[in-house]
């Protein structure tokens, strides 16, 4: 479930979500929200997403973050022109 606050994430986890995606949170806010979710629901997977690039990735890693999604890997990738003939 995509969440934009700790309260939303706690509500989603309490309702049975297996994964909560904390989207577009500043690193400090992200880590606080992830810690709250893990304290209340240790088996829930916490995913960080939103505005994370290779240069800022270390700021988003932490003990309560299980997965990091980085859209820059796909939407910022250079194009390659090729053909396949079978």
CATH number for the domain harbouring residue 8: 3.20.20.70
Q: Is residue 82 part of a domain?
A: no
Q: Is residue 33 part of a domain?
A: yes
Q: Is residue 84 part of a domain?
A: no
pLDDT tens-place string over residues 31-79: 999 999 999 999 999 999 998 988 999 999 999 999 999 876 666 667 7
The total number of structural domains that make up the chain: 1
Q: Is residue 34 part of a domain?
A: yes
Alpha helices in the chain (DSSP H): 6-14, 27-40, 57-60, 72-75
pLDDT tens-place string over residues 14-25: 999 999 999 999
Residue 11: how many other CB atoms lie within 10 Å: 14
pTM of the predicted structure, to 2 decimals: 0.82
């Amino acid at each position: 479930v995509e969440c934009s606050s700790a309260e939303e994430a706690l509500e989603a986890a309490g309702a049975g979500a297996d994964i909560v995606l904390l989207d577009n949170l500043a690193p400090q806010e992200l880590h606080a929200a992830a810690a709250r979710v893990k304290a209340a629901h240790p088996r829930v997977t916490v995913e960080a997403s939103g505005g994370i690039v290779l240069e800022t990735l270390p700021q988003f890693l932490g003990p309560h973050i299980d997965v990091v999604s980085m859209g820059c890997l796909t939407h910022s990738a250079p194009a390659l022109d090729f053909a396949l003939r079978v």
